[in-house]
Amino acid sequence: MTAEITVDKEDALVDDELRIIVKGLQKNQLVTVRAEVTEKGQVYAGYGCFVADDNGIVDICTRPSTFGTYKGISSMGLFWSMKPAPGMPEVMRLMKDNASSPLVTDLAVFPGHLTLKEMYTSAFRQLCRKEIRRWYMAKGVQKRKIRSGRIRGTLFLPPGKGSFPGVIDMFGSYGTCIEFRAALFASRGFASLALPYFLYDDLPQDINDLDMEYFMEAVDWFSEQPFVDGNNLGVIGVSKGGEIALHLGFFSNKIKSVVDINGTPFFTSGMSYKGNLIGSVTPPANYADRIIETEEGLDFSETVICDVKDYTPIWTKDVHVLLICGLDDKCYNPKFLSNLWNCYPAHRKHLCQLFNYAGAGHLIEPPYAPLARTTKARFEGEVISVLWGGETVAHARAQEDSWKSILYHFRTTLHIVHADKDNLSVSRL
């Protein structure tokens, strides 16, 4: 009997749980299963070592990995435990630049229990392999590049006529237009705008040259589109994007719901503002010379200083806020979001939820993305290694749980009927 791999969803969304089964093995046969993704020339791989059951079957959902990039039982362990393949730089982040194309994953089965390095030699032959595709952008989702006035970005629309509740999506100091999460929101029923704000097109080249009016104009433009329900707008951001998301929730009466992933409740760098915003914003935070040098990279978590009295008082606004906080964040001190939650008086606590995740780092992505604990970044004209934090298993659990909470938050606060947190597409590790 010939070994083969079966997958229940060969064209799944990235937040879908898959059932991967290897059949046609010998009773109690030792095998190694590897998942490999190549993106922008960078190769990532996750693997587990398994023992086939009495019927010669390895069901990844029920059989434990005894060794590999993960151990134990996890249906998606081959994906969230991925690391750079042999010969690749150790500091990489798997990011899909073009959400119109899939993450193509090569699944392969090897005889015996192997190391990752051994699988990348010619000494071991594959028993079988299978290629699957995992998408951020579902079939029927429309994608449009946006150039309207100053506004730049990528718009994603779900199938159907709409109007749809809208979500503006922003990332951090990486810059450019990052599409993948906005595409996934559209795949789950939201009109979404991936909004860049520097290092893209004719936008500013320096993160210190931003002005708040750009983001307010983006909200106004988005709310006026015929396919968007202008009465049900949300905004989400991570890092600097989360910081801006909180401020949009404070300044714009059109924003009903905010998700902040490890972003501060104050400005961490210069942000100009004019008109009716003058006097409404606290000055940027101060910086201390507390950069910690580690073997993995620079730890910035103790460099930003801001007193609670200088937080932007979003707790005075009738906007629903979800705070996602990685307690192993090495970029910003996690206490900032706890302090923000404590600013809410008892009679307004219902407007804010704080989810603290032990062992999770700064870069909390949608489910099953591999941990990027350290990456290269440009700092003061030099390329350095930046430590973002996170422990592999805990970070994976945080990504999966927080994504369910984010979808539930937007579906309920933006008034999508029948939102059910326990019946969303993602599931537990």
Describe the strand order of the beta sheet including 20-23 as a list of residue ranges: 4-7, 20-23, 58-59
Report the C-alpha dihedral over residues 402, 405, 409, 411, rounded to 10 degrees. Answer: 120
Catalytic choice (247, 362, 395, 409): 362
C-alpha–C-alpha distance, residues 113 and 51, integer Å? 9
209 catalytic? Reply is no
CA distance 238 to 303: 18
Question: In the annotation, is 401 catalytic?
Answer: no
Fill in the amino acid letter for 253.
Answer: N
Q: Examine the residue annotation and report whether 362 is marked as an active-site residue of this protein.
A: yes
* Interstrand relation of 374-379 and 128-135 (parallel, antiparallel or unpaired): unpaired
- CA–CA dist 94, 46 (Å, integer): 13
| CA atoms within 13 Å, Cβ hemisphere of 65 | 23
Identify the active-site residue in 75, 329, 395, 402: 329
* Side chain identity, residue 153: G
Residue entry with tokens 């005894």: 66
- Give the residue numbers annotated as catalytic, written as ranges: 239, 329, 362
